[in-house]
Amino acid sequence: MPKRSARAAHRREIIEKTVESAETPEKYRIIFLAHCTREKGLFDALAAVALANRQLTEQLSPIRLHLSVAGAFLYETERREFERWQREDPNEADYLGFLAGDAKTKLMQESDCLCFPTYYSAEAQPISLIEAMAFGLTIVASAWRGISELLPGNYPFLVAARDVSEIARALIESMKADLARQLRQHYCNGFTQKSYSHNLDNALRDNCVATD
């Protein structure tokens, strides 16, 4: 958490121009971690990053967004569409394939934000959101199905599904945020084995009392 908070503080200083930025634009590292499909929000994430970078360029901002995509493509047509995006601007997004174990841990540690603008019809409890909270990553996600219930109350970076301009706005705003400790604590309170068992036990006890 200290390193992540330090990166967030450094970004704020650059945005507020209280420190000099390097010649090369500072990177805000975003990940998309899911099945690489349209409904999971892959192409909305790509479009939002491209839009946000255009806006940052117009604002003469010294920060640029970079999207790393991790997961398996289910459809060849969508793989080819993603490859066309990459050819148009190879510096804006890269594809890491399916990651697990140490490679996935390294990606989480080195990234700043998870972008998950899903509108998948059967979305339930996306494990990528829980993993992101465990690592203290800022999350920009669609307010879709039960996603808002997974995140802390009044979470600031929930967006409308399929609204690229709103996703872009949230990504830019999220650069200034330092939610690492809050998200990590939310994970510890509700998603570790110990906390989950404790919360489930309380829920069952409350249900028994209510039905007596």
Closest to 123 in 3D by CA, of 40, 45, 32: 40
For the chain, the C-alpha Rg in angstroms (whole number) is 18
Residue in this structure with the two tokens 């990053």, named with its chain if needed: 49
Is the domain spanning 2-180 CATH 3.40.50.2000? The answer is yes
> What are the pLDDT digits (tens) for 100-134?
999 999 999 999 999 999 999 999 999 999 999 99
Taking all residues of the chain, what is their mean pLDDT, rounded to a whole number?
A: 91
Two tokens at 24?
Answer: 């090369």
> What are the pLDDT digits (tens) for 61-75?
999 999 999 999 999
Closest to 66 in 3D by CA, of 48, 79, 88: 48
* For the chain, percent of residues with pLDDT exceeding 70: 90
Mean pLDDT for back-to-back runs of 10 residues, the chain (212 residues): 88 83 84 98 98 95 96 97 91 95 96 98 96 97 96 97 98 96 95 68 58 55
pTM tops 0.85? yes
Spell out the domain ranges in the chain. 2-180
